[in-house]
Amino acid sequence: MPDTGEAMEYIILIAVIAGLLLGAAVGLVVSGKRRKQLPPTTPQKGSLTEAPPAAAVEEAALPAPAEPTEAEAAAEVPALDVPEPTAGRLVRLRSRLSRSQNSMGKGLLALLSRDHLDEDTWEEIEEVLLVADVGVAPTQELVERLRTRVKVLGTRTPDDLRALLREELLALVDPTMDRVLHTARHTEEEPPRPAVVLVVGVNGVGKTTTSGKLARVLVADGRTVLLGAADTFRAAAADQLQTWGERVGARTVRGPEAGDPASVAFEAVKQGIADGADTVLVDTAGRLHTKTGLMDELGKVKRVVEKHGPVDEVLLVLDATTGQNGLVQAKVFAEVVDITGIVLTKLDGTAKGGIVIAVQRQLGVPVKLIGLGEGADDLAPFDPAAFVDALIG
């Protein structure tokens, strides 16, 4: 018979083994349950995305990585462009007018310097002005004035002629017109609201490019800008505008493709008010300018936007290379919306700088900006004196 001491040892040993077995069993059950909670490692039928592998799930439970340092965060934000200052842009870009300069400015000076200013010469002078798209009435006026003044002048030194031509061309370009671009926020109103600029014109004249360049002009002048991509008929136009905006930190409001342009324009202004923007710039659609459809639509865009308050500027963009065609477009647009300013694009590489005079005459509206190239900062506030100086060379 084993003694009691031995019996006790057996009992303790059995209890320890039983305890160990029980512990192992519980452990197995718990770990089995945990495993069931993990997502399957193979994709489920019908799911759109691949399930993450188990390792990824376990990683998700790890503590979040340390916050990026300030320097790292700054490196991730794309650097914004710093647009060129707008003052003196036309002077800097004056060589871009070289074709107008050569055919118009230099041509006129050469003719006026001839020894004998006979009828043929005056006709040639007229021809130069007409070819440069100055327009019939302004051409006749200018020739008349030049004839009278040259007679009075007596001897004609090159400097005299240059000064005379400068003065007369400047009078035609009209330095008295108000060319201020109204883009300042209406702080006097309660609640304050941004200035609203509509950019209108037919496709291809450079409307979207001009909207983008204008955003840069305004940013360079210290304004905060919001862009509205109301040309909903071309997805590329909205993308293009957004890219321009992103380069200078301007947000773009856009709508669904082929959506209602007026509603995009309305939303853009609404967002501009919410953001406290200085200026909302709305790029509009420009197809089929001869069809009443587009014109009705443009009228509607303006009416709908004006539910937020009056529009500050309606800028008509015209391609300077299209001559008479541009003037016809200008007339059609002016019948639908009150144009407050003209943007003449592509004045680089055309000999038709005189269109500035013709279009202002036709609409009675000032040219406020001119496009002198495809570069981001090739849009200049129009300055009559600098323009005439550049023309004469």
For residue 257, report the phi and psi dihedrals to the nearest 5 degrees.
-60, 140
CA distance 254 to 265: 9
Q: Rank residues 207 and 302 by Cβ distance to ligand GDP and give the closer one.
A: 207
Query: How far are the Cα atoms of 36, 274, 379 from residue 252, in angstroms, in the given order?
Result: 48, 14, 20
- The residue with its CB nearest to ligand GDP is 371
Q: Rank residues 99 and 182 by Cβ distance to ligand GDP and give the closer one.
A: 99
Q: Rank residues 111 and 230 by Cβ distance to ligand GDP and give the closer one.
A: 230
Torsion of CA 279, 230, 337, 179, to 10 degrees: 30
Q: Rank residues 203 and 263 by Cβ distance to ligand GDP and give the closer one.
A: 203
Q: Rank residues 309 and 349 by Cβ distance to ligand GDP and give the closer one.
A: 349
Min CB(82)–ligand GDP separation in Å: 21
Question: End-to-end alpha-carbon separation of the chain, Å?
Answer: 131
Min CB(390)–ligand GDP separation in Å: 15
Min CB(121)–ligand GDP separation in Å: 34
Min CB(89)–ligand GDP separation in Å: 12
Min CB(300)–ligand GDP separation in Å: 20
Q: Rank residues 95 and 148 by Cβ distance to ligand GDP and give the closer one.
A: 95
CA distance 393 to 174: 19
Report the amino acid identity of residue 261: P
CA distance 196 to 391: 33
Q: Rank residues 232 and 345 by Cβ distance to ligand GDP and give the closer one.
A: 345
Q: Rank residues 323 and 373 by Cβ distance to ligand GDP and give the closer one.
A: 373
Query: Could you tell me the two tokens for 240?
Result: 């293009």
Establish how many alpha carbons lie within 13 A of residue 228's alpha carbon, considering only the half-sphere containing its beta carbon.
33
Query: Could you tell me the two tokens for 286?
Result: 């420009």
Min CB(340)–ligand GDP separation in Å: 18
| 3-state SS assignment for residue 22 | helix
Report the amino acid identity of residue 153: L
Interacting residues with ligand GDP (CB under 6 A):
201, 203-209, 237, 286, 345-346, 348-349, 371-374, 378
Q: Are strands 279-284 and 367-371 parallel, antiparallel or unpaired?
A: unpaired
- In this structure, the chain runs to a length of 393
Torsion of CA 329, 333, 335, 340, to 10 degrees: -120
CA distance 355 to 205: 15
Min CB(96)–ligand GDP separation in Å: 8
Min CB(241)–ligand GDP separation in Å: 9
